Structure 1
Amino acid sequence: MTSSLSDVQSSFPEPTTGQGPRSPAPGLTAAFDPERFHDGAAAIVTRLTRYLGDHSVRGLDLLDPAVLLKAARDLMTHETAHIADFDADRVNQIVDLYTGTGIPVYSPGYMGRQFSGVVPLASLIDLVGSVVNQPSSFYEAGQLPSVAERLMAEHLNHFIGWEPGRYAMVTTSGGSLANMTALLAARDRAFPQIWTRGAGGTPGPPAIAVSEQTHYSVTRAAGVLGIGERQIIRLPADSAGRIRPDLAGPALDEAHRRGLRPFCLVASAGTTAMGAFDPLEELAAVARRYGLWLHVDGAHGASLLLSDHHRHKLRGIDQADSLTWDAHKMLFMPAPCTLLFYRDAATARGAFRQRASYVFDEEPDPYSAYDSADKNFECTKRPMIMPLWAVWSVYGPALFAQKIDRLCEVTRQAADMIAAEPDFAVAHRPESNILCFRYRPPGLQDATAHRLQLEIRNRIRGGGRFFISKVDIDAVAALRVVVMNHLIDAGHLAMLIAEIRDIGQQVLRASAATGNDQRNGSHT
């Protein structure tokens, strides 16, 4: 074992003379030239600096795919027989097309999705990761990423509250993969024979209990695991989108009467639709009563653990068996970067039971203790922890806490402003940074309200100044904003409200005119 970094030195033998392979072609050498990398990186960083500095209110410029396809094709070299010469102008055009067609996540007009503009330092560390290219499932391939993963687990578990030295954390490429991995571990605990003998020998069909508001990745994972739709137990939710613990028990009892064998209850800490937080403490009691694994999908909302003002919304998280936590959402990291936590490290290894001599060592050693490949799907995965660890190391946790507090505060302000408008209706009180509402003048019927919200959302997206999303609540569409930019203020919110009202009135007037024409027999 190397005792210190100063000991990492190598001596290479003198090159031998004689016949050997020819030198690489000049074009091949030039493509890997460090000076060319420096010049190209400087030009790209200059462009990205301007991009980061553009705080104008703008939404999504949604191009016709055929137009974008042609523009992208025109930027591709026609040279096929030889390595084409480096064309700095072509590279600049590629960067401009990339940034110009992307969602403007740094603009105050962007309020549509749950991914964020990243902390700029994180993007620089992500560039380092791309250059050094250290897959991080094995310590020998990614030494610092493996150590950084251990360090971030320690710091973040301080907020979760599990017993030190007993829990485990692995990084995965996205919350969907983390949710499925956790379900695999839960299934293995309940049905250890499935990995070798399949599901045929189980005493009943394996089932999972989920909220009506659960993310589709959970039910998709159930399908991948062979758990059919009839084996998914839907737990009733209240009007705010939270699982009702008082109705969870009866739903599980009914599942047992149907012959199902539920093994996992999946709760949410920040649902995708409305940002709702399930009552984890009460659901943990339900899970214990029925012998279920409690998995918390905190992809969006687990980051509120870092906030003194909002941590209480995850009360009971220490009683969960596993937790999905997306750093590319409310920790503002490059996507994907998901943290999958287990309360018991032993169960983390239960998801997969494979050996492969080319990667897994027969005897444990100080290096393999930091390997994570036995606990996640990916053998080769990006060192996604590095941007988070670097930003945490430089700025500390207060950076994340202050931004989270700001986003939640602005969202509450948006709810108050919208609720004060007589022709708007908020669908819920926001628990985080997600707010759903409708433009609904008095007397508007549900069927008309549904179509109106869809048309408003589409016209706003086409207008290019704001980008918002939509979601169905009680079968009626609602407009949805996700406040991810700390620069959004009351002025931007007022602009959005005014634009929604203007578009809504235009749509209603056009609809009324069309109805009059049809009643008069006109076919314009």
Structure 2
Amino acid sequence: MRTGRVPQMTRFRTKSVDLGFLHRDNTISEEDDMPAGKDALKGRSGSLEGPDNIIGEESRNSFDFETAYARDLLPARNAPATTTLFLSKVVEILCDYVRKTYDRNEKVVDFHHPQDLKKFLDLEIPDERPETLEKILESCRETLKYGVKTGHPRFFNQLSSGMDVISLAGEWLTATANTNMFTYEIAPVFIVMEEMILKKMREIIGFPAKSGDGIFSPGGAISNLYAVNCARYKFVPDVKKKGLREAPKLVTYISEHSHYSLKRAAAIVGIGTDNVYAVKCDERGKMIPSDLERKIQIAKSKGETPLFVSASGGSTVYGAFDPLHDLADICQRHKMWLHVDCAWGGGVLLSKKYRKRLDGIERADSVTWNPHKLMGVILQCSCLLLKESDLLQRCNSMSADYLFQQDKNYDVSYDTGDKTIQCGRHVDVFKLWLMWRAKATVGFEAQINKCFDLAHYMTDKLKAREGFEMVVEEPELTNICFWYLPPSIRDLPDGPDKRDRLAQVAPVVKARMMDRGMTMIGYQPLGDNVNFFRMVISNPAATTGDIDFMIEEIERLGEDL
């Protein structure tokens, strides 16, 4: 048993911070808690601390960061008051940014081309002369100033948008804790929290209550990689030790609208992109089961081994949901692994009104679900959920004795690092757990339903407005895909000339939009469709007024084309 005197805790306060620090003698000395610069406190002498260890307002206002350096902060110097003052300034910068993010009078982006940005930003790394703390604070301000406000109510460019304040607080706490998820001994609270959240998500999917597994990963692409790797191990376990020479020719199947990460996963695990077969989709972007069946039969006739089917639970561009029951029947018949990539659309499972779009997901072997998309959790937050217990461990375990000793003084099944592709793993669970506690499931349901309401509002507006044409007439998710036709091409006959001119509209409008900086939307071609706009509504701060602004902005910026 450890013995000895436990140091007392000195408490000190700033205007908005109340923290405790350990000290050898329960005091903060002038020598310890003064920055090196002799003029660090203009007009004052002695410690930053006043009576009762309170940082005075005069000290706060007169402290000179231009003569202070990182060496004047904890842990280089026993300087809790100076450290707190510096961090409070950082928090002020962050809170000012949060306020501006929700201000519609603020730009979404102050856009500059890379060569220009590099000219006026000081990006050089010093070798001999460190920067002052004032310069460090200025770097924080500039970094935020020239970034993109992805939480702005008029940012519609990506699947992940918004800035939930509770989730943000969770991410700040996670950074402060600065721990790693590979063993229980260094992340006990986060490990049991992750276990609980993953269990909750599996229950929502409909997986059996007493089995299953899962892991948080650095994004949907890695979650999809986990799924492909687990499927390969499940059907050809010897490949883990002996390599692909022990495997038959494996082939996988994806929707022609699937995320590119599924092809990349096949490349990484050695299946090869030539052995990833794209299945045709209908006009709404949904995988056609009969084409999947046909392609499986062709592969078998050539001696290939069909291994894996990835279905879309909200495709990236159209937001389409594949017919999961039909695909599950095919996979069951051919003894194949069914994965559902609902990185984007997984949040609909929390809505009683819309979860039917994922009917059949409970029959999947694995599911990718990104709470940082439709649920609005701060990036990054992605999960792979598995129906089978212990598969991740058997697939990925390397049993490194220096980390995963089996004779520890606790249940070592909580050491999650040995079942992951990574070793070091960021804590992504806390911001989701905290946000879920703050909202409850009904709060997420209301948030997601609101996004659908806005999508329906915009769809109806576009259909009734001259100069706009829908790519998908009835969106299944909150992706609204459409063309804007300027007056000069509206009456042209359909043909190559009209297509070529229409293909140029979205890129030009987007470039002008970036220069103006008041809103953002994406565009892309897909299949035979030339460039079209893709509006994504996942930001709970957005309103019908923001939808109207976007439509009118596209008209303003494109009517002369």
Q: 2-side partners of 1:491 and 1:327: how far apart?
A: 26
> Which residue, 472, 480, 484 being the options, matches 2:534?
480
Q: 2-side partners of 1:350 and 1:271: how far apart?
A: 31
Question: Alpha-carbon deviations, 1:350-370, whole Å to 9, x = none?
Answer: 431422111123358743122
The answer to whether the 8 Å contact 2:452/2:478 transfers is yes
Q: Which residue matches 1:516?
A: none
The answer to whether the 8 Å contact 1:267/1:294 transfers is yes
The answer to whether the 8 Å contact 2:213/2:392 transfers is yes
> Which residue, 113, 128, 138 being the options, matches 1:80?
128
Q: 1-side partners of 2:316 and 2:481: how far apart?
A: 11
Q: What amino acid is the match of 1:65?
A: P
1:451 and 2:495 matched: no
The answer to whether the 8 Å contact 2:397/2:419 transfers is no
Q: Which residue matches 2:478?
A: 433
More displaced 10-residue stretch of structure 1: 431-440 or 56-65? 56-65
Q: Which residue matches 1:62?
A: 111
Instruction: Quote the offset at 1:385 in angstroms.
Output: 0.4
Q: Which residue matches 2:51?
A: none
Q: What amino acid is the match of 2:361?
A: I
Instruction: Quote the offset at 1:14 in angstroms.
Output: 10
Q: What amino acid is the match of 1:35?
A: A
- Provide runs of 4+ in structure 1 moved above 6 Å: none
1:496 and 2:496 matched: no
Q: Which residue matches 1:36?
A: 82
Question: Alpha-carbon deviations, 1:269-300, whole Å to 9, x = none?
Answer: 11111111111121111111111111111111
Q: Which residue matches 2:385?
A: 341
Q: What amino acid is the match of 2:170?
A: I
Q: 1-side partners of 2:230 and 2:127: how far apart?
A: 50
More displaced 10-residue stretch of structure 1: 125-134 or 230-239? 125-134
Q: 2-side partners of 1:492 and 1:14: how far apart?
A: 57
> Equivalent pairs: percent with the same residue?
24
The answer to whether the 8 Å contact 2:406/2:412 transfers is no
> Which residue, 243, 246, 254 being the options, matches 2:298?
254
Report the CA distance shift for 1:77/1:191 in structure 2 as closer, same or farther (over 3 A): closer
1:317 and 2:361 matched: yes
Report the CA distance shift for 1:191/1:486 in structure 2 as closer, same or farther (over 3 A): same
The answer to whether the 8 Å contact 2:104/2:152 transfers is yes
The answer to whether the 8 Å contact 1:328/1:338 transfers is yes
The answer to whether the 8 Å contact 2:521/2:533 transfers is yes
> Which residue, 284, 290, 307 being the options, matches 1:240?
284
More helix, by proportion: 1
The answer to whether the 8 Å contact 2:153/2:546 transfers is yes
Q: Which residue matches 2:230?
A: 185
Q: 2-side partners of 1:406 and 1:254: how far apart?
A: 44
Instruction: Quote the offset at 1:13 in angstroms.
Output: 8.0
Q: 2-side partners of 1:14 and 1:137: how far apart?
A: 30
Q: Which runs of structure 2 are paired with 1:217-366 in the superposition (5 Å)?
A: 217-362=261-406, 366=410
Q: Which residue matches 1:391?
A: 435
Secondary structure of residue in 1 paired with 2:560: helix
Q: What amino acid is the match of 2:118?
A: L
Q: 1-side partners of 2:386 and 2:169: how far apart?
A: 30
More displaced 10-residue stretch of structure 1: 404-413 or 63-72? 63-72
Instruction: Quote the offset at 1:79 in angstroms.
Output: 6.9
Q: What amino acid is the match of 2:253?
A: A
Q: 1-side partners of 2:87 and 2:405: how far apart?
A: 39
The answer to whether the 8 Å contact 2:251/2:271 transfers is yes
The answer to whether the 8 Å contact 1:60/1:104 transfers is yes
Q: 1-side partners of 2:97 and 2:267: how far apart?
A: 41
The answer to whether the 8 Å contact 1:231/1:260 transfers is no
Report the CA distance shift for 1:306/1:14 in structure 2 as closer, same or farther (over 3 A): closer
The answer to whether the 8 Å contact 2:255/2:287 transfers is yes
| TM-score after normalising by structure 2 | 0.82
The answer to whether the 8 Å contact 2:254/2:309 transfers is yes
Q: Which residue matches 2:218?
A: 173
Report the CA distance shift for 1:79/1:363 in structure 2 as closer, same or farther (over 3 A): closer
Q: What amino acid is the match of 2:499?
A: D
Report the CA distance shift for 1:91/1:29 in structure 2 as closer, same or farther (over 3 A): closer
Instruction: Quote the offset at 1:329 in angstroms.
Output: 1.3
Q: 2-side partners of 1:400 and 1:327: how far apart?
A: 11
Instruction: Quote the offset at 1:245 in angstroms.
Output: 1.4
Q: What amino acid is the match of 2:513?
A: I
Secondary structure of residue in 1 paired with 2:155: coil
Secondary structure of residue in 2 paired with 1:56: coil
Report the CA distance shift for 1:299/1:213 in structure 2 as closer, same or farther (over 3 A): same
Q: 1-side partners of 2:379 and 2:2: how far apart?
A: 36
Question: Alpha-carbon deviations, 1:106-152, whole Å to 9, x = none?
Answer: 22221101122231122222222212211012111110010100111
More displaced 10-residue stretch of structure 1: 112-121 or 482-491? 482-491
The answer to whether the 8 Å contact 1:457/1:479 transfers is no
Q: What amino acid is the match of 2:153?
A: P
Report the CA distance shift for 1:219/1:77 in structure 2 as closer, same or farther (over 3 A): closer
Report the CA distance shift for 1:404/1:41 in structure 2 as closer, same or farther (over 3 A): farther
The answer to whether the 8 Å contact 1:185/1:350 transfers is no
Q: 1-side partners of 2:409 and 2:395: how far apart?
A: 22
More displaced 10-residue stretch of structure 1: 61-70 or 94-103? 61-70
1:419 and 2:467 matched: no
The answer to whether the 8 Å contact 2:339/2:365 transfers is yes
Q: What amino acid is the match of 1:397?
A: T
1:140 and 2:193 matched: no
The answer to whether the 8 Å contact 1:408/1:433 transfers is yes
